[in-house]
Structure 1
Amino acid sequence: MEIFLEAKSTFYKALEEIINNAYDKGTISQKEIYDILTRYNCNFPVIEDRLFAKNAQYQKNIYVLKQQDNKTYSLRIDSKIEPYVTNLEIMWLKFIMSSRYAELFLDKNTIEKIKKLKSSYVPSIDTNLIVPKNYSKILKRESAKDLSPKLKMITKSILEKRLLRYTYTTRQGETLKDVVGIPVKIQYSLKDDMFYVIFYSIEHRNFAKCIIQNLEDVRYEEGSFNREDVLKEYELYLRNAKAKQPIIIEVMNTRNALERAFCLFSSFEKSARFLKEKNKHEMKIYYYEFEEAEIISRILYLGRDVVVTQPQHIRESIISRVKNALKMYCDNEIV
């Protein structure tokens, strides 16, 4: 029955949560059931009648609940639904094990369990067919083994609300020693295959984005702070830094430009629509003012397949950079 196939039915997930909640607590209220059905968009009469065994055709009812009183139900079975994975999920789990980052986020026991998963049909995937090409040309990729202790320490600091003291080397080569900060958020850039952390500086009372592999001598620092206050300040900082208007680009559907654009701007809030009269896609990219240089860099990476239509200062900045690049190449008699 498709109603019990997780991949095809949201009702399966709703029913699973209802059964497991009722099993864990012994009973479940009618309000809790309705809340779960509503959350999964299953709150319509046909489903409700089947679940509460009120359908006129008894064979269509689902007899998993029995009524205790007007507002409370219990299970007819003394069991919960154990989690399981579909063939497609097994294929995906086995594939991500080929990533060098798997050990950063999963412990050894979990990795071993995934490797032992079996399925009736899991086609093999040649991971060599997927060749990453967006790695940073400025920084060499740090090995996952070296990156792991830094990432885990930052994660633990966020969870346990602890200060960190660290030394950081900027992209320009400047070294900042013994900086004390509060890690706020970890980010991953698909464009250059880098992990970043947002730090709040205790000394300067501002936020900075650091490349995790450029952090050295990371250690815990004694001190207390209110993380909720820092997060509120971070949200205020982001609101004030948001650009007043989005960058609007038109993308030609050539040389996989559209796919590349979505990939490059995957970490940004955006919207897109197809311009039938131009046979192009229009993409609006919402960003923060401190991200402007990074946005321009990514637009230039897309080359001639993209045209910036708004705002004007971004257009002028890109035109200026292209002119300077052409002048430099011409002066050096490369073109």
Structure 2
Amino acid sequence: MAYAPIFHELHSDLFLALCRIINAIASGERMTRTDILQQLPNLDWGSLERANELIDTIFLFQPDGTAELFLNKAIAPRATTVEVSWLRAMLEDPGAAFLLSADLREKLLQKLAAIPEWPREIWQIVQEQGDDRTALQARLATIWQALREKHQLAYANRDSRGNLHEGICSPCRLEYDAVANRFYLIIWQEEEARAIKMRVASLESVQCLDAPIPAGTEEAFQQFLASRRQSVTLRIERRNNAVERCFMMFASYDKEASYDEETDTYTIQLYYYDFDRHEILQQILSLGAAATVLAPADMREAIIERLQAAWHSMGNVSVNKEG
């Protein structure tokens, strides 16, 4: 689970930083020149002179060093043309219908009628077949409602082994894997004091209840995440597009990577939570012999066990066919 603002690279870091500073001061926060300098992005000013010149054109300073605004008013967020074009495309996408009510969607589309359409023809979608997003709209809308209103869910989920699990839970996150084109619901089970991740497509029923999510659930969830963060280190060889596939598959995870020119291999360290372990294992296996697990040992052993089980299964199939 890695989070990043949409289109963050299309904005000016300096502009956004100044907006944050101005809005903080407008809301009553006391800031000095030093505070402002510390919050400006790491730019190659050459010297502090240029940075101070910029600060002096935007802020006034009281005798005690506190910054004030020429006009004591916050700056409203401004969207770029690219962002509003993306918004129109999202509103027109039936797979995203669950995010907004039909009335609000129609009003927004009317407001955006003059906005240029998103240039879909220049984009190539590279993802697995995954979920039928249109078929999941009712389930997604219910989950989204529960998250918005902070209400609990009653659910029935059938796992990969065919076992049915039913219960009442507190929803924590609705996650979308853009590469796999799959939706996941992450819930908090208070009785077991743990988080569980399940595919939305595997939910046979889901209902938003009147009962609110208990106080302290988010804090407990965050503590759980902090204590369950794990990592795996892989060496990836350049064959069968393994490098490209690896970076695409693990795009949603926090990671660090380095390249060894002598061996022409990549070393990648991925960070994940224990409820992502099964998914991580499957993705590593899909890379085949081009991927080697360097650490930890238990992850390497889990990969070996699955390969041996697959090998024995293939052997049994061959024996049965011969018999």
Same-fold call, TM cutoff 0.5: yes
2:145 to 147, 153, 156: 153
CA distance in 1, matches of 2:210, 2:88: 39
CA distance in 2, matches of 1:306, 1:321: 18
1:132 to 127, 134, 139: 127
Per the alignment, residue 143 of structure 1 pairs with 135
Provide, for residues 283-327 of structure 1, a one-character-per-residue CA deviation record: whole Å limited to 9, x for no partner.
223344554332221122223432334434134224314423543
Contact 1:248–1:285 (Cα < 8 Å) also in 2:
yes
Query: What TM-score do the two structures reach when normalised by structure 2?
Result: 0.73
1:258 to 243, 252, 269: 243
Change (3 A) 1:278 1:70: same
Change (3 A) 1:332 1:135: farther
Residue 79 of structure 1 deviates from its aligned partner by 6.9
Which structure's relative contact order is higher, taking Cα pairs within 8 Å and 6+ residues apart?
2
Residue 251 of structure 1 deviates from its aligned partner by 1.7
Q: Secondary structure at the match of 2:205?
A: strand
Change (3 A) 1:280 1:223: closer
Per the alignment, residue 14 of structure 1 pairs with 17
Aligned residues: 303
Contact 1:199–1:207 (Cα < 8 Å) also in 2:
yes
CA distance in 2, matches of 1:20, 1:247: 41
1:234 to 204, 221, 225: 221
Residue 253 of structure 1 deviates from its aligned partner by 2.9
Per the alignment, residue 51 of structure 1 pairs with 54
Q: Secondary structure at the match of 1:50?
A: helix
Residue 274 of structure 1 deviates from its aligned partner by 0.8
Contact 2:86–2:118 (Cα < 8 Å) also in 1:
no
Per the alignment, residue 56 of structure 1 pairs with none
1:85 to 79, 88, 111: 79
Per the alignment, residue 165 of structure 1 pairs with 154
Per the alignment, residue 306 of structure 1 pairs with 291
AA at the equivalent of 1:125: R
Name structure 2 gaps, 5 residues minimum.
Answer: 1-8
Q: What root-mean-square deviation, in Å, do the aligned CA atoms of Structure 1 and Structure 2 show?
A: 3.9
Change (3 A) 1:68 1:286: closer
Contact 1:249–1:307 (Cα < 8 Å) also in 2:
yes
Residue 261 of structure 1 deviates from its aligned partner by 0.9
User: Greater Rg, structure 1 or structure 2?
Assistant: 1
Query: What TM-score do the two structures reach when normalised by structure 1?
Result: 0.71
2:35 is equivalent to residue 35 of structure 1: yes
Contact 1:14–1:36 (Cα < 8 Å) also in 2:
no
Contact 1:271–1:285 (Cα < 8 Å) also in 2:
yes
Contact 1:296–1:318 (Cα < 8 Å) also in 2:
no
Provide, for residues 238-293 of structure 1, a one-character-per-residue CA deviation record: whole Å limited to 9, x for no partner.
455455xx433222234432222122223333321112221111122334455433
Per the alignment, residue 58 of structure 1 pairs with none
